[in-house]
Structure 1
Amino acid sequence: MGLGMLSLNRLAYSQDYKKVHQDLVIVDGHNDVIYESIFGGKDIGQRLSTGATDLPRLKEGGVDVQVFAVWSDDAKWKTGAFEHANAQIDALEKMIVANAENIALAKSVRDIDAILKAGKIAALIGVEGGNMIEGSIDNLIKLHERGAKYLTLTWNYNVPWASCAAMESGKMDSKAKGLTDHGKAIIRKMNELGMLVDLSHGGEQTFYDAIAVSSKPILVSHSNAYRLCPHFRNLKDEQLEALKKNGGVIGVNFYSGFLDPEYETRLKRMYTRQFGKNADTTLSTWKMYDKLPVDVRYEVDAPMSKLLDHIDYLVKKVGIEHVAVGSDFDGIESAPQGLEDVSKFPLLTKGLLERGYNKADIAKIMGQNFLRILKENEG
Structure 2
Amino acid sequence: LLPRHNDLPWQLLRKFNNQLAMAEANLTLLEGTHTSIPKLRSGHVGGQFWAAYVPCDTQNKDAVRRTLEQIDVIHRMCLMYPQDFTCVSSSAGVREAWQAGRVASLIGIEGGHSIDSSLGALRMFYRLGVRYMTLTHSCNTPWADNWLVDTEQEQAVHNGLSVFGKRVVLEMNRLGMIVDLAHVSVKTMTDVLEISKAPVIFSHSSAYALCPHRRNVPDDVLRVVGQKRGLVMVNFYNDYVSCNQNANLSQVADHLDYVKKLSGYQAVGFGGDYDGVPRVPQGLEDVSKYPELVAELLRRNWNETEVRAALAENLLRVFKEVEDVSEMPPAEIPITFEELGGECRTRYGYPGSASVPGLLPATLAVPLLRALLQ
Q: In the alignment, is residue 207 of structure 1 matched against residue 189 of structure 2?
A: yes
1:74 aligns with 2:53: no
Are the equivalent residues in 1 in contact too, given 2:7–2:273 (CA < 8 A)?
A: yes
Is the 8 Å Cα contact of residues 47 and 54 (structure 1) preserved in structure 2? yes
Match of 1:111 in 2: 93
Residue 297 of structure 2 is aligned to residue 352 of structure 1: yes
Q: Does 1:36 align with 2:8?
A: no
Deviations 1:228-249 (A, max 9, x none): 0000000110111111121100
Which residue of 1 is the match for residue 114 of structure 2? 132
Between the aligned residues of both structures, percent identity stands at: 34
- On the 8 A contact 1:199/1:220 being kept in 2, the answer is yes
Alignment partners' CA distance in 1, 2:67 and 2:73? 10
Which residue identity does 2:8 align to in structure 1? Answer: V
Which of 18, 42, 51 aligns to 2:33? It is: 51
Task: Report the CA distance between 1:95 and its aligned residue.
Answer: 1.6
- In the alignment, what sits opposite 1:372? 317
The residue correspondences of 1:258-273 to structure 2 (distance < 5 A) are 258-261=240-243, 263-264=244-245
Query: 1:169·1:203 contact (CA, 8 Å) conserved in 2?
Result: no
| Alignment partner, residue 363 of structure 1 | 308
Q: Secondary structure at the match of 2:3?
A: strand
- Is the deviation greater in 74-83 or in 127-136? 74-83
Tell me by how many angstroms 1:145 deviates.
Answer: 0.8
- Provide, for residues 33-77 of structure 1, a one-character-per-residue CA deviation record: whole Å limited to 9, x for no partner: 101125543535223220100112111100001000011111244
Tell me what 1:220 maps to.
202
Q: Deviations over 1:174-211 (max 9, x none)?
A: 33321111110111110011110000001011111111
- Alpha carbons 1:44, 1:55 under 8 Å: kept: no
- Relative to the length of structure 2, the TM-score reads 0.83
Distance 2:44 2:224 in 1: 32
How far apart, in 1, do the equivalents of 2:26 and 2:68 lie?
A: 19
Distance in structure 2 (CA, Å) of the matches to 1:81 and 1:308: 36
CA distance in 2, matches of 1:126, 1:231: 24
Cα distance in structure 2, aligned partners of 1:129 and 1:209: 17
Q: In structure 1, the residue corresponding to 2:105 is in which secondary structure?
A: strand
- From 270, 279, 284, give the equivalent of 1:325: 270
Two-structure CA RMSD over aligned residues (Å):
1.2
Aligned 8 A contact 1:156 1:167 in 2: no
- Range with greater deviation from structure 2 (218-227 or 161-170): 161-170
| 2:249 aligned with 1:304 | yes
Shift of 1:167: 2.2
**Match among 38, 57, 65 for residue 47 of structure 2:** 65
Change over 3 Å in CA distance of 1:223–1:188 after alignment to 2: same
* 1:116 aligned counterpart, secondary structure: helix
Q: Cα distance, 1:78 vs. partner?
A: 3.0
Q: What does residue range 176-325 of structure 1 map to in structure 2 within 5 Å?
A: 176-261=158-243, 263-264=244-245, 301-325=246-270
Q: Give the TM-score normalised by structure 1.
A: 0.81
CA contact 1:151–1:197 (8 Å) conserved in 2: yes
The alpha carbon displacement at 1:304 in A equals 1.2
Q: Which amino acid aligns with 1:357?
A: W
The equivalent residue for 1:91 is 73
Instruction: Work out whether residues 59 and 116 of structure 2, in 8 Å CA contact, stay in contact via their aligned partners in 1.
Output: no
Aligned CA distance change for structure 1 residues 210 and 178 (closer, same or farther; 3 Å): same
The one-letter code sitting in structure 2 at the alignment partner of 1:315 is K
1:138 deviates by 0.6
Could you say which structure has the higher helix fraction?
1
Give unpaired runs (5+ residues) of structure 1: 1-25, 265-300
Matching of residue 174 in structure 1 with residue 156 in structure 2: yes
Distance 2:2 2:27 in 1: 19
Instruction: Assess if the C-alpha contact under 8 Å between 1:43 and 1:95 holds in 2.
Output: no
Structure 1 contact 47–57 (Cα < 8 Å) conserved: no
Cα offset, 1:318, TM superposition: 0.2
Q: Which amino acid aligns with 1:27?
A: L
Q: Please state whether the residue corresponding to 2:79 is helix, strand or coil.
A: helix
CA distance in 1, matches of 2:256, 2:310: 9
Which residue among 134, 139, 146 is the counterpart of 1:157? 139
CA shift, 1:352, in A, is 0.7
Cα distance in structure 1, aligned partners of 2:216 and 2:2: 21
CA distance in structure 2 between the aligned counterparts of 1:151 and 1:359, rounded to whole angstroms: 30
CA distance in structure 1 between the partners assigned to 2:214 and 2:11 by the alignment? 24
2:309 aligned counterpart, secondary structure: helix
Asked if 2 retains the 8 angstrom alpha-carbon contact of 1:199 and 1:207, the reply is yes
User: Which structure carries more relative contact order (alpha carbon 8 Å, separation 6+)?
Assistant: 1
Write the mapping of 1:10-21 to structure 2, written as runs, cut at 5 A: none
Distance, in Å, in 1 between the alignment partners of 2:256 and 2:146 is 24
1:67-93 CA distance string (max 9 Å, x none): 000111112443111111111111111
